[in-house]
Each structure stands twice: as structure tokens, then as C-alpha cells.
């Protein structure tokens, strides 16, 4: 091979390796946190007499200019700088000269990246929490309109007992409230500042970690330098929180898909969220909830990826950890867009009250009420009541009626034990009465549902 060819090959290899090694093409997402962290670090260095106040001022002004250049699109991101930390520092030094070279005193990229990434995760935990709050508010508002609308409650996707639709929707308000609380508690747990841990062992410079921590809005510095530079639990936590939120989004999406099908027709989604088929002009496909359901997969993948990256890493920092970011960025973007789209879908869906009520008359939803009545009023053992109720259901099937539609004579004929039953039983078999009879705390009755709405309205105010 000629020398020239050899050189070309070497250059190509070097370029491939640069690309392989670099994170700049994705960690530029962290530019704002990187600059925030550097400003706090420089201020602390000046307070400690490690930088002069002139040097610090020059650094701060320079960093703000770099920020401006990035935000205006002027900034040239290049593989030559490997990551956002080197890119910002290099540009800073181009702008302000000598003082720029002093910024990296008493820190390492290891604590720098841990700080930037943690700031990002903390920022996003707060904003996702706020989005969840809006989503909960939507569920509560829509629920409050349907606290007397009957819908068949299901177990095993089989008609079970009558509910009101507001109660059904509030199940999701509860799920998203738990999600909200998960983001809140992981925010609190991780609200400690890595800066000053340096490469892995701390630094001989006379720094004040409490001061930089405070400037960045953390509670206090982390306790252990080596643990800190290798810890990515905070990233795993947000990935888990997002996964759980997406799992809940996926479940309501699945219900929306079912409910908007021809078989259910409980809801109609606004045309923006359902598209027509390219070959079957009569169709309206629930693409948006299907995508919400589908995107849950990649978010789970991101969680499993990072768990796998972290497993078996020796202390302390290892380059493997650079693989922590893209999945988190992707999950954050996915959950942000998913929450805001779901919010609109729920706000704009058209509820078909009639279809829900019709469907409630299928499947003998009040059969349990008959059994409960026999137990409560006639002191019958539950198993006996269960078999007698089965006879009533068979009779209703023969008559092609729902159990809630039987008259007292029909009920009395269904089983010998019922021949003298009081005619009040008809009232007990009524669907709306049955729903309202479930008045235990957390139950489906309109009263309990409205209490829960009040609870959420208070909670939303905090």
C-alpha cells in the first residue's frame, strides 16, 4: 500500500474514532446546565480567592456570550471538542483568553457531567410534574360531568358491575397523581450537588462545595466524591418514573382504542386524533392513542438500556456512563409530547352517554346485587345466594332480558326460594341504584365519586 493510501486510511480511522468517542452531538442538549454549573463554580472559586474577581467577571460574561451564540445558532458544534464541556470551555477561552483556562480549576469533567445531567433531570422532573398536574385536572374536569352516567365496569374485559363514567376516569387521575408524587420524591432524593467531587476523590484546592451547591439550588453537596461521579441512580429514577407514566398513558390509550371501536362506540375522538385509512375510506383509525401505546415500548427500552450499562461498572467514573444521556433525552421528549397530546384527546373526546347506558344493560351487571340482597336481608349463606342468582340469570337469558329488566313475577318464578321475595328486589336490581349502593369509601356511587372530585379539586390547588 502506498504511503498516501496509508495516510488516508489513518485519517479515516481517526475520524471514525473521534465520532465514536464524542458525545457532543447529543450532550449539547445540556449546554444551559453546563453554563449554569460553570458560572456557579467560578463564583465559588472567586469567593474562595482561587480566582480574582476580574477573572470571574470575565468568565461569567464570556459564558453568557457562549450561551447566546448557542441559542442563536451561531455556535459551531464540532467533533473536535468531544463533548459540551470541552466545547464551551474552548469557545470561552477563544473569547476571553487567559482567564478561560482557569475555569476548570478544582473540578473534572466527571463531576461536571454529573452536575449538568443532574440539573437537567431535576429541571425536567419539575416540568413533567406540572404537565401531569394539568392532565389530572383534565381528567377531574371531564369526570365531574359524568358522575351519573352509567358504564359497564369490567373485570377480565367482561361486564361485571355498573359504574359511573366519572368514577372510571378518576382511576386515571389517581394513577397520574402517583406519577406526580414519584417525580416529586425522586426530585427530593436527588437534590444534592455533585460539583466539587472532582475526578473521584475530591480536590486539594480550598473549595466551598456548600456554596456552589446553594447557588445551583441543591439542598447540599453529595456526601461521597467517588460514589457521586459514578452514580446515575437519578437518571434511572427519571427513566422509571417516565416508564410508569407511559404505562398509565398506554392503558388509557388502549381503553380509548376499544371505546372508539364499532363494538363499543362509547367515545368519539376528535378528527385530529384519528385518521382515515389510505385504502378503506369508511374508516377512522385511532392512530394517536395507538402511537401513545406504542411509544411506551421505547421508553421501557431506555430504562433497561441504562440499567444494563450501569451493571457491573467498577468504581469510579467509566466512559460507559456517557451512554446515559440519549435514552433519557428520548424518554423525556416522548413523555412530554405524550402527556400534552393525551391531555388534548381527553379534553376533546365526545362521550356517547346513550351507548354507555345501553351497554350497561348487557351482561346482568346487577346479578351481584341480588346475591348481596339475599345475604343481607334473608341471612342466606353467600354460596346459596350465588346459585339462586344463577337461576335468575338463566331465566333472564331465556326471556332475552337483562336481569335489571325482570319484573317481580318473573323473579319469583326463577327459583323456589324466591317465590315470596319482597318486590323491593326490583329496585335493588336497577342499574343506577346498584351503582349508588356501592357507597363504601372509594366506591363508585355518585356521592363517593363527587367526594373524590372534591378531594382532587383541593389537591390541585396546592
Q: Is residue 38 at the binding interface for ligand ARG, with CB under 6 A as the rule?
A: no
Residue closer to ligand ARG, measured from CB, 110 or 445? 110
Compute the distance between CA of residue 66 and CA of residue 18 in angstroms, rounded to an integer: 23
Q: By the 8 A CB rule, do 129 and 242 touch?
A: no
Q: Is residue 241 at the binding interface for ligand ARG, with CB under 6 A as the rule?
A: no
Q: By the 8 A CB rule, do 269 and 349 touch?
A: yes
Strand 150-155 versus strand 158-164 pairing type: antiparallel
Q: Is residue 369 at the binding interface for ligand ARG, with CB under 6 A as the rule?
A: no
Residue closer to ligand ARG, measured from CB, 40 or 87? 87
Q: Is residue 235 at the binding interface for ligand ARG, with CB under 6 A as the rule?
A: no
Q: Supply the minimum distance, in Å, between the C-beta of residue 319 and ligand ARG.
A: 6
Residue closer to ligand ARG, measured from CB, 22 or 371? 22
Q: Supply the minimum distance, in Å, between the C-beta of residue 313 and ligand ARG.
A: 12
- Which cell goes with 33? 446546565
Catalytic-labelled residue, pool 53, 270, 277, 394? 277
Helix pair angle (325-348, 287-310), 10° resolution: 160
Q: By the 8 A CB rule, do 51 and 45 touch?
A: yes
Contact letters for ligand ARG, residues 309-348 (x by CB under 6 A): --------x-x-xx--------------------------
User: Cα dihedral sign for 206, 210, 214, 217?
Assistant: positive
Q: Is residue 110 at the binding interface for ligand ARG, with CB under 6 A as the rule?
A: yes
Q: Supply the minimum distance, in Å, between the C-beta of residue 22 and ligand ARG.
A: 8
DSSP letter for each residue of 210-239: HHHHHHTT-SEE-S-HHHHHH--HHHHHHH
Assess whether 41 carries a catalytic annotation: no
Residue closer to ligand ARG, measured from CB, 113 or 195? 113
State the DSSP H helix or E strand holding residue 162, giving kind and residue range, or none if neither: strand 158-164
Residue closer to ligand ARG, measured from CB, 311 or 319? 319
Compute the distance between CA of residue 259 and CA of residue 289 in angstroms, rounded to an integer: 11
The torsion angles phi and psi of 49, rounded to 5 degrees, stand at 75, 15
Q: Is residue 242 at the binding interface for ligand ARG, with CB under 6 A as the rule?
A: no
* Coil/strand/helix, residue 131: helix
Compute the distance between CA of residue 152 and CA of residue 263 in angstroms, rounded to an integer: 14
Helix pair angle (165-189, 233-259), 10° resolution: 170
- Which cell goes with 261? 371501536
Q: Supply the minimum distance, in Å, between the C-beta of residue 109 and ligand ARG.
A: 4
Residue closer to ligand ARG, measured from CB, 232 or 295? 232
Q: Is residue 429 at the binding interface for ligand ARG, with CB under 6 A as the rule?
A: no
Q: Is residue 83 at the binding interface for ligand ARG, with CB under 6 A as the rule?
A: yes
Q: Supply the minimum distance, in Å, between the C-beta of residue 2 and ligand ARG.
A: 36
Residue closer to ligand ARG, measured from CB, 23 or 389? 23
Catalytic-labelled residue, pool 2, 72, 156, 278? 156
Contact letters for ligand ARG, residues 268-307 (x by CB under 6 A): ----------------------------------------
* Binding-site size, ligand ARG (CB under 6 A): 10
| Nearest CA among 148, 171, 53 for reference residue 102 | 53
Q: Supply the minimum distance, in Å, between the C-beta of residue 34 and ligand ARG.
A: 10
Q: Is residue 115 at the binding interface for ligand ARG, with CB under 6 A as the rule?
A: no
DSSP letter for each residue of 70-106: HHHT-----GGG-SHHHHHHHHHHHHH-GGGGGTTTT
Q: Is residue 197 at the binding interface for ligand ARG, with CB under 6 A as the rule?
A: no
Q: Is residue 118 at the binding interface for ligand ARG, with CB under 6 A as the rule?
A: no
Q: Supply the minimum distance, in Å, between the C-beta of residue 270 and ligand ARG.
A: 42
Tell me the β-bridge partners of 268.
350
Using CB under 6 A, which of 41, 67, 109, 182 touches ligand ARG? 109
Alpha carbon 221 to its chain centroid, in Å, reads 28
- Cβ neighbors of 235 (< 8 A, separation 6 or more) are 117, 121, 306, 324, 328
How would you class 49 by CB atoms within 10 Å of its CB: exposed for 0-12, middle for 13-18, buried for 19 or more? exposed
Residue closer to ligand ARG, measured from CB, 113 or 132? 113
Q: Supply the minimum distance, in Å, between the C-beta of residue 83 and ligand ARG.
A: 4
Q: Is residue 225 at the binding interface for ligand ARG, with CB under 6 A as the rule?
A: no
Assess whether 205 carries a catalytic annotation: no
Residues that bind ligand ARG (CB under 6 A): 23, 27, 83, 109-110, 113, 317, 319, 321-322
Instruction: Cite the active site residues.
Output: 156, 277
Amino acid at each position: 500500500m502506498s504511503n498516501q493510501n496509508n495516510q488516508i486510511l489513518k485519517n479515516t480511522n481517526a475520524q471514525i474514532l473521534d465520532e465514536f468517542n464524542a458525545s457532543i452531538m447529543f450532550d449539547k442538549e445540556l449546554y444551559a446546565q453546563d453554563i449554569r454549573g460553570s458560572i456557579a463554580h467560578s463564583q465559588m472559586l472567586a469567593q474562595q480567592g482561587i480566582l480574582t474577581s476580574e477573572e470571574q467577571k470575565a468568565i461569567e460574561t464570556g459564558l453568557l456570550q457562549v450561551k447566546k451564540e448557542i441559542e442563536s445558532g451561531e455556535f459551531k458544534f464540532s467533533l473536535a471538542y468531544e463533548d459540551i464541556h470541552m466545547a464551551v470551555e474552548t469557545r470561552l477561552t477563544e473569547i476571553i483568553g487567559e482567564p478561560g483556562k482557569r475555569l476548570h480549576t478544582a473540578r473534572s469533567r466527571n463531576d461536571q457531567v454529573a452536575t449538568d445531567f443532574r440539573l437537567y433531570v431535576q429541571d425536567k422532573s419539575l416540568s413533567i410534574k406540572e404537565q401531569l398536574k394539568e392532565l389530572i385536572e383534565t381528567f377531574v374536569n371531564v369526570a365531574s360531568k359524568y358522575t351519573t352516567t352509567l358504564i359497564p365496569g369490567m373485570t377480565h374485559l367482561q361486564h361485571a358491575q355498573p359504574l359511573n363514567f366519572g368514577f372510571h376516569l378518576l382511576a386515571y387521575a389517581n394513577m397520574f397523581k402517583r406519577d406526580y408524587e414519584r417525580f416529586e420524591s425522586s426530585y427530593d432524593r436527588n437534590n444534592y450537588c455533585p460539583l466539587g467531587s472532582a475526578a473521584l476523590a475530591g480536590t486539594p484546592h480550598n473549595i466551598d462545595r456548600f456554596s456552589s451547591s446553594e447557588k445551583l439550588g441543591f439542598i447540599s453537596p453529595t456526601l461521597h466524591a467517588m460514589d457521586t461521579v459514578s452514580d446515575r441512580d437519578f437518571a434511572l429514577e427519571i427513566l422509571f418514573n417516565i416508564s410508569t407514566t407511559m404505562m398509565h398513558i398506554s392503558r388509557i390509550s388502549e381503553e380509548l382504542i376499544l371505546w372508539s371501536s364499532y363494538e363499543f362506540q362509547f367515545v368519539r375522538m376528535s378528527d385530529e386524533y384519528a385518521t382515515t385509512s389510505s385504502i378503506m375510506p369508511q374508516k377512522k383509525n385511532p392512530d394517536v392513542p395507538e402511537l401513545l401505546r406504542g411509544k411506551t415500548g421505547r421508553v421501557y427500552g431506555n430504562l433497561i438500556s441504562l440499567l444494563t450499562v450501569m451493571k457491573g461498572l467498577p468504581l469510579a467514573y467509566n466512559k460507559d456512563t456517557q451512554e446515559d444521556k440519549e435514552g433519557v433525552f428520548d424518554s423525556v421528549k416522548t413523555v412530554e409530547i405524550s402527556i400534552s397530546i393525551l391531555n388534548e384527546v381527553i379534553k376533546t373526546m365526545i362521550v356517547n352517554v346513550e351507548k354507555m347506558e345501553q351497554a350497561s344493560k348487557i351482561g346482568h351487571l346487577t346479578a351481584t346485587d341480588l346475591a348481596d340482597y339475599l345475604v343481607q336481608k334473608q341471612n342466606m349463606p353467600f354460596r346459596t345466594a350465588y346459585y339462586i342468582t344463577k337461576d335468575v340469570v338463566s331465566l333472564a337469558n331465556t326471556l332475552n332480558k337483562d336481569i335489571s329488566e325482570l319484573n317481580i313475577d318473573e323473579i319469583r318464578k326463577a327459583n323456589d326460594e324466591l317465590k315470596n321475595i319482597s318486590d323491593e328486589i326490583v329496585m335493588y336490581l336497577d342499574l343506577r341504584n346498584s351503582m349508588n349502593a356501592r357507597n363504601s369509601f372509594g366506591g363508585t356511587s355518585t356521592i363517593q365519586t363527587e367526594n373524590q372530585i372534591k378531594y382532587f379539586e383541593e389537591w390541585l390547588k396546592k
